[in-house]
Chain A
Amino acid sequence: MFPSARLDRRSLLRALAAAGAAALLRPGRAIAQSTPLLTRRIPSTGEELPLVGLGSWGTFNVGEDRVARDACAAVMRGFFDAGGRLIDCSPMYGSSQPVIGYGLEQLGMPARLFSADKVWTSSGDEGSAQIEASRRAWGVPRFDLLQVHNLLAWEEHLPTLFAMKAAGKLRYVGITTSHGRRHAEFERVMRSQPLDFVQFSYNILDREVEDRLLPLARERGMAVIVNRPFQRGDLIRRYAGTRLPAWAADIDCTSWPQFLLKFIVSHPAVTCAIPATSSVAHVVENLGAARGRLPDEALRRRMIEFVRSV
């Protein structure tokens, strides 16, 4: 196991208590949830985050549908019950922000929430108003993390975000990209700005970020959030008919989603992966990737070779 993935005492005690309760109520699930989530430190503060968070693109955009909103709230409940913390969203995700706000209200605003959102507008003048609208949609007093979405007008938004952080209205500042786009510009911003977080796409097939962005994040002391861990489900569908190799048990993988997630979060520069799902069972399964053993470098190479052979 990589030494930077750790358990803090509070997480351990909380997980043991939850496991005890789960064992009484649901013996079968207790096995999967009997060990606490692995965490990794945010370099700029040392705060611990579980290795798996919750994305919301495409899954929480359910509009005014009350039944679907309740289903999203159930996913969030499963996420928090299993030890999750970070939920990521964006103004670009349609109704996802108010749906998250609805879920948080249903759950009584869980104290362990780590709220991550984005600013996404081409006008710097509109940034503050959009952030405030996002905050109201979530119903939180302030965001933990705000990121400039897809580097859109980052020159104008980053000063706003840094000013919010200095004023105590925000804890962390970051930037995002996805689908492997604009990496050269992304790297320039990483080198020139004192960012706490960066977010980009990374999975067992799309590994371009291993060359420059992941090492740079370590060098610059930036936390890394990984989006599109399953290529929006394509990877899971691709390997659905293939049996996991026997050695997957050596890293406590019981499913392909866990196999794919463990590959990502075992990279020492990665802080957190954020798969999105609309299923309670899947969110629990995903968080299972933040439990047990992680692959070392040799096993990571073996994982790559295996998926290439499939």
Chain B
Amino acid sequence: MPEWWTYRLSDFLMFSSRTYYRLFELYNRELWPGQLLAVALGLVLLALAGRRGTWQRRVVTAILVAAWAWVGWAFHWRRYATINLAAPYFAACCAIQAALLVANTLWRRGLSPPQPPAPDRIGLGIIFFALVLQPLIGPLLGRAWAGVELFGLAPDPTATATLGLLLVAEESWTLWVVPTLWCLAGGATLWAMAAPDAWVTPALATVALVTRAVRRRRGVSR
């Protein structure tokens, strides 16, 4: 794109904020009562995130694979692509993340176990935020409850919960790329719409990345 540096973030916003939030409302309406399954899987994820057993790690990884595959196909490919020309690329990134997680399961039996003596509290905190608090932000800001964004269905809480799990598991950077990029893209979209919660996902990604980097530099688990 010529003179790309002269564009502002808002120049790339193809739709109104009303259209964006309506997309989630219609999406949730179509999926009901699938939200109950998403919440149940989220609670399972939260319960198993700090466990070290092999099957627990496999269940956590399987839930993440399902979440990324579903968000890529059902949200980005089928819904978001109707208003955003970039959405098919987002869907492809989700598919890549799901494939990387599958490969991780095949080669390494799922995400790494949490390091002793105890699971990372910051990582667990991010997971809890993504599953429980992040969905409340929209309604608390006056958006419709019908448009609530849940882990496993909507991209933002799926990406932040994944980063929390990767922090707990102290996984390799390969698995961090897509969720981190989505946190930036999702935050940029909200920023272009002047949404007051635009900082949330980039901030959570930054916390997760910095925490991981600091621990890696120290060369110890904690």
Chain A positions near chain B (C-beta within 8 angstroms): 57-59, 61-65, 67-68, 92-95, 179, 181-182, 232, 278
Contact = CB atoms under 8 A, between A and B. Distances in A.
A61 B79 CA distance: 13
A63 B82 contact: yes
Contact of B84 (A68, A94, A181, A232): A94
B82 A95 contact: yes
Contacts of A65: 19, 22-23, 26
Contacts of B85: 92, 94
A181 B8 CA distance: 13
Contacts of B10: 232
Contacts of B3: 181-182
B19 A63 contact: yes
Nearest to B2: A182
Contact of B14 (A58, A67, A181): A58
17 contacts: A58-B13, A58-B15, A62-B83, A63-B19, A63-B82, A63-B83, A64-B82, A65-B23, A65-B26, A92-B85, A93-B14, A94-B14, A94-B82, A94-B85, A179-B7, A179-B11, A182-B3
Nearest to B25: A65
Interface string B1-38: 01100110011011110110011001000000000000
Contact of A95 (B7, B16, B18, B83): B83
B16 A63 contact: no
User: Which among B3, B26, B83 has the greatest number of chain A C-beta atoms within 10 A?
Assistant: B83
Contacts of A232: 10
Nearest to A62: B19
A177 to B, nearest CB: 10
Nearest to B7: A179
A61 B2 contact: no
A61 B15 contact: yes
**Interface majority SS (helix, strand, loop, mixed), chain B:** loop
A63 B23 CA distance: 8
Interface of B: 2-3, 6-7, 10-11, 13-16, 18-19, 22-23, 26, 79, 82-85
A93 B82 CA distance: 10
A59 B6 CA distance: 23
Contacts of B11: 179
Nearest to B3: A181
B83 to A, nearest CB: 5
B6 A61 contact: no
Contacts of B79: 63
A224 B74 CA distance: 43
A146 to B, nearest CB: 20
Given A58-B13, A63-B79, A92-B85, A68 B19 contact: yes
Nearest to A65: B22
Contacts of A278: 16, 18
Nearest to A91: B85
Given A61-B14, A182-B3, 4 more contacts: A61-B15, A61-B83, A94-B83, A182-B2
Nearest to B19: A62
A62 B82 CA distance: 8
A68 B22 CA distance: 9
User: Which among A59, A94, A232 has the greatest number of chain B C-beta atoms within 10 A?
Assistant: A94
A95 B15 CA distance: 10
7 closest A-B pairs (Cβ-Cβ)? A63-B82, A63-B83, A61-B15, A94-B14, A94-B83, A62-B19, A61-B83
Nearest to A234: B10
Nearest to B23: A63
